[in-house]
C-alpha cells in the first residue's frame, strides 16, 4: 500500500511527532499519526454542553464504500477494526435496482463505543455521509435541535433512537453536504451484540415514529427473516390464590376445627 510521510509543516499544524497518509479502496484519504501533544483541558462550550469522548473517541463517522468486500478487507484486515453489526437494507435506498440482493451496511469498532466507523454501500459527492457527536445529556440534544430549527438548519431526521447502538439523536445537514448526528446515550461494546446482523424492520426509530413498518412490508414480500409478523404472546392464566389457615392454635370446637360441628369457641 503506497503511503506518504507528513511534511514538517503538517506535523506542526497537527501537533504530532509523525504521520503517514494513505488512501482506502474507496479513495478516502486517511492519516495515521503518533506522538500527539495532548491538551487535557476540557473543551469549552458557550452553551455549557459536555461531550462523551476520552477512551470512546470523538464519535463515529459514516463514509461511502461502493465495494463492500474491498472496504471490509482494508478496515478489518489491514487496520484491525472489528465488525460489530451488519444491516440488510433495501437496495433502492442506495440507488440500486429494486428487487435485487439487499445492500449491506457495515458497522465497525476500534474502542468500547458500539461503532466508530460505518460503511454505506453508496457514493456521495461530499465524500462523507455523516459525523456523530455524542453529548452527555438528553437536554443538551434537545436544546441543540431547537437552536438548529430556530436558525433555519435543515433537519434531516428528527429526534429518535437507533436500533443498533441505541443512540438518541437527530440529524442536521451541513453546508458541505454531509450530516451531523447529534446524540446521547450511545451503547458501549458488549459481547452479546458483537457481530450480530440486523434485518429490515430493525432500523432506526427516528422522527417519533418507527420507520420500520415500510421496511417490514417490503421485507415480507421478499421473504427476508426479521421482517415477519410476530405472533402475539399468550398470557399466562392466573391461578386462584391458595387459602392458608391461620397460625393460631385451635382447640376442639373452635373455628377451623373440621372434627366437630360445634360453635366457635374461645382460643
| All domains in the chain, ordered by first residue | 1-35 (no CATH), 51-222 (3.10.180.10)
The b/e string for 191-230 (b: 16+ C-beta within 10 A; e otherwise) is eeeeeeebbbbbbbbbeeebbbeebbebbeeeebeebeee
Comparing CA positions, the residue from 131, 213, 205 lying closest to residue 168 is 205
Q: Is the CB of residue 167 less than 8 Å from the CB of residue 101?
A: no
Strands 196-198 and 82-89: parallel
Q: What are phi and psi of 171, to 5 degrees?
A: -115, 140
Q: Position of cell 456523530?
A: 132
Note down pLDDT in tens along the chain; length 267 residues. 899 999 999 999 999 999 999 999 999 999 999 999 988 787 788 998 999 998 899 999 999 998 999 999 999 999 999 999 999 999 998 888 898 899 999 999 999 999 999 999 999 999 999 999 999 999 999 999 999 999 999 999 999 999 999 999 999 999 999 999 999 999 997 544 444 444 443 444 554 434 344 445 544 554 444 445 555 666 666 666 665 555 444 444 444 444 444 444 443
Comparing CA positions, the residue from 51, 32, 29, 33 lying closest to residue 42 is 51
* pTM > 0.85: no
Amino acid at each position: 500500500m503506497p503511503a506518504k510521510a507528513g511534511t514538517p509543516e503538517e506535523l506542526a499544524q497537527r501537533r504530532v511527532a509523525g504521520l503517514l497518509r494513505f488512501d482506502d479502496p474507496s479513495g478516502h484519504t486517511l492519516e495515521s499519526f503518533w506522538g500527539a501533544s495532548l491538551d487535557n483541558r476540557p473543551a469549552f462550550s458557550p452553551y455549557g454542553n459536555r461531550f462523551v469522548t476520552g477512551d470512546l473517541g470523538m464519535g463515529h463517522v459514516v463514509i461511502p464504500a461502493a465495494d463492500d468486500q474491498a472496504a471490509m478487507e482494508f478496515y478489518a484486515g489491514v487496520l484491525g477494526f472489528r465488525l460489530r453489526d451488519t444491516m440488510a437494507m433495501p437496495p433502492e435506498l442506495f440507488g440500486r435496482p429494486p428487487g435485487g440482493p439487499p445492500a449491506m451496511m457495515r458497522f465497525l469498532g476500534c474502542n468500547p463505543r458500539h461503532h466508530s466507523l460505518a460503511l454505506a454501500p453508496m457514493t456521495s459527492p461530499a465524500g462523507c455521509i455523516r459525523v456523530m457527536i455524542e453529548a452527555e445529556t438528553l437536554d443538551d440534544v434537545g436544546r441543540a435541535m431547537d437552536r438548529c430549527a430556530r436558525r433555519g438548519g435543515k433537519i434531516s431526521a428528527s429526534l429518535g433512537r437507533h436500533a443498533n447502538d441505541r443512540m438518541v439523536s437527530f440529524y442536521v445537514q451541513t453546508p458541505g453536504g454531509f450530516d451531523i448526528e447529534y446524540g446521547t446515550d450511545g451503547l458501549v461494546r458488549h459481547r452479546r451484540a458483537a457481530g450480530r446482523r440486523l434485518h429490515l424492520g430493525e432500523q432506526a426509530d427516528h422522527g417519533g415514529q418507527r420507520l420500520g413498518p415500510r421496511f417490514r412490508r417490503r421485507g415480507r414480500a421478499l421473504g427476508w427473516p426479521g421482517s415477519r409478523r410476530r405472533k402475539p404472546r399468550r398470557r399466562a392464566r392466573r391461578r386462584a390464590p391458595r387459602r392458608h389457615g391461620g397460625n393460631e392454635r385451635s382447640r376442639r370446637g373452635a373455628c377451623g376445627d373440621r372434627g366437630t360441628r360445634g360453635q366457635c369457641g374461645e382460643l
